[in-house]
Chain A
């Protein structure tokens, strides 16, 4: 069975990038009812546009409606769900039973039960299935063995997180942010208090100055073959607030790994690890797939430098001049060594010979955000290819 690769997107450009780099489906959140309200640019018009992009490519688009709502959050719920149904979104991702019941009543919307409710067993999977859900996003606390056992006992589609930031708490059960900052973690305001630095006290005495609650980001490369064999239906990447480069790199890496496994090609995990390291800026680990372990916890530094810096996105290629037209995303200059990755092809590494402005003036650097520049490139390159600087 070929599992779905499900990617996040915080805006329409990221929707396109996620699909082009190999996602089968994309999930987005609008400002209403989304846990990443701050990350969302989506209103109903842009949701329709995202659906059109997805369906035009034969792919799917899901919309999150997975906050734990208070009374005032439910105002306009019926109209909103109806609009999503009319927009032909492929599913809504819900956690609140009332929102689930409303989505079911409206009809035309598939219901995915969010990881916010921490579904961790087949009894609850079957309950949600019988209640009208077509899919359950499993709790991130399950081991591979537990997922395998559960898979045999439920007919509902199963979605599993494979990459990205992890709540240190069971999802939906945390109010650290509420108590520490007044921002509601379960209504889109999470301040990530779990990622702060803490001192540890023991028996009312200062004990250690480097205690951390946070977990490393999840990275499930080595578990992918097993999860495919178990029969997991969908592999989910976290990160609606992540950059375009991150989404492209992570999606592309897992796409290759899944396809390589299904085609019975040789799997070289080191290759995929190196690929992910090009975009990842937080330490990653195995999550809880092998149980609660030291390797999953974040100790020491919370940040690391990605091995490569995203410097530009290809807008097009001038066949006559043999020049790539680039939208600048970070500073780069002539003679920098860069790598071009494209949705379909292999990466190509080269030194930038020169940089010209749109009007043809030679530049000593591409230094302005979103500035359009040209660089020489002998072979044509696809739009949405990404240019990243290779660290020296």
Chain B
């Protein structure tokens, strides 16, 4: 299992690799949401070249919904960054998989839709698009996850297994619209969270950018309890970057790379939980858990 890390600063590439990251992810200022380092097309190409020269693997993550008005710009971006030969394009909207297929580069595609790769047959259709890499959805339990992996041996599968996981992605610019409604100045650099009126124990981070608004889980996810299973089954393991200090992020990479995670949990345990790996969420109204 390889570790995939998100780059927040172009000067930290060597450090991330030294800590144990196998692949570095760069994000776009047009087609990535909640990006920690949104880069223009030219800077993405430069980042690909720099990373490949290390040498190290490099992915570009494009995770917005693609609207009709985005298509021309997206195709130009893909055309030019593919010339720099990144090792993968991580995409959220299937549109990019279709375009990669038409461009003759389906092998670059890594389908990361967030919610849709939930069962053992979810990935079969990707074969028609000649896409062989995908990320399993974030809300299924461990037994289903293992079942999905074991039933799809021809796919190289990954998981977003650590960090702040989004649970909501809207096209609406909720923070700036709210400020506009209230007649207040919106500070885009401020850190925003919401809390349910009746439950002030959990705070949900919000990030607004050009693509809309994302809301994140109140606690960050860790996979330390199940990492040995993942190591045996997964091709790649993504460590998310949002809502983390640089030190915390580096320590997380080191913990997964070395297998020594006790210090990490001792320091950060209160901010983390193990998500739904052990917690079924099928509950419908009136059904017992």
Contact = CB atoms under 8 A, between A and B. Distances in A.
Interface in A156-175: 168-170, 172-175
B278 interface: no
Interface residues of B, number: 67
A293 B177 contact: yes
A290 B217 CA distance: 30
A31 to B, nearest CB: 10
Interface string B165-176: 001111111100
A54 to B, nearest CB: 28
10 contacts: A71-B120, A73-B119, A98-B119, A127-B94, A173-B114, A176-B168, A178-B139, A178-B167, A199-B197, A204-B191
A169 B187 contact: no
Nearest to B187: A202
Secondary structure type dominating chain A contacts: mixed
Contacts of A181: 283
Given A142-B68, A175-B115, A98 B99 contact: no
A98 B167 contact: no
Interface in A278-303: 288, 292-294, 296-297, 299
Nearest to A72: B282
Contacts of B266: none
Give the size category of A's interface with B.
35 or more
A184 B284 contact: yes
B118 A175 contact: no
A173 B284 contact: no
- Which of A72, A124, A199 has the most CB atoms of chain B within a 10 A radius of its CB? A124
B197 A70 contact: no
Contacts of B114: 173
B284 A120 contact: no
The 8 closest A-B pairs by CB, nearest first: A97-B125, A189-B284, A98-B121, A141-B171, A198-B194, A175-B167, A146-B68, A201-B193
Interface string B137-160: 011100010011000000000000
Given A175-B168, A197-B196, A200-B192, 11 more contacts: A69-B119, A74-B119, A117-B94, A120-B67, A168-B174, A172-B115, A176-B168, A178-B139, A189-B284, A288-B172, A299-B181
A187 interface: yes
A299 B212 CA distance: 18
Interface in A299-348: 299
Given A69-B119, A121-B71, A294-B177, A199 B124 contact: no
A74 B289 CA distance: 20
Contacts of A201: 192-195, 203
B168 A184 contact: no
A123 B71 contact: yes
Nearest to A182: B283
A38 B167 contact: no
Contact of A176 (B70, B121, B181, B215): B215
A299 B125 contact: no
Contact of A186 (B94, B115, B194): B115
Contact of B178 (A118, A199, A296, A299): A299
A168 B172 contact: yes
Given A178-B276, A292-B177, A146 B167 contact: no
Contacts of B289: 182
A297 to B, nearest CB: 5
A68 B116 contact: yes
Contacts of B95: 120-121, 123-124, 127
Interface in A75-118: 96-98, 100-101, 117-118
B190 A297 contact: no
A70 B140 contact: yes
B277 to A, nearest CB: 13
Contacts of A149: 68-69
Interface in B45-104: 65-71, 93-95, 98-99
A362 interface: no
B92 to A, nearest CB: 8
A169 B190 contact: no
B116 to A, nearest CB: 6
Contacts of B140: 70
Nearest to A208: B182
Given A199-B200, A204-B191, A98 B124 contact: yes
A71 B282 contact: no
Interface string A211-226: 1110100000000000
Nearest to B141: A70
Given A184-B281, A294-B180, A96 B169 contact: no
Contact of B172 (A179, A184, A292): A292
Given A183-B284, A184-B284, A299-B178, A101 B169 contact: no
Contact of B70 (A72, A121, A197, A198): A121
B285 interface: yes
B122 interface: yes
Interface string A119-145: 011111001000100000001011101
Contacts of B147: 71
Contact of A150 (B65, B68, B94, B98): B68
A187 B282 contact: yes
B196 A196 contact: yes
- Which of B125, B139, B171 has the most CB atoms of chain A within a 10 A radius of its CB? B171
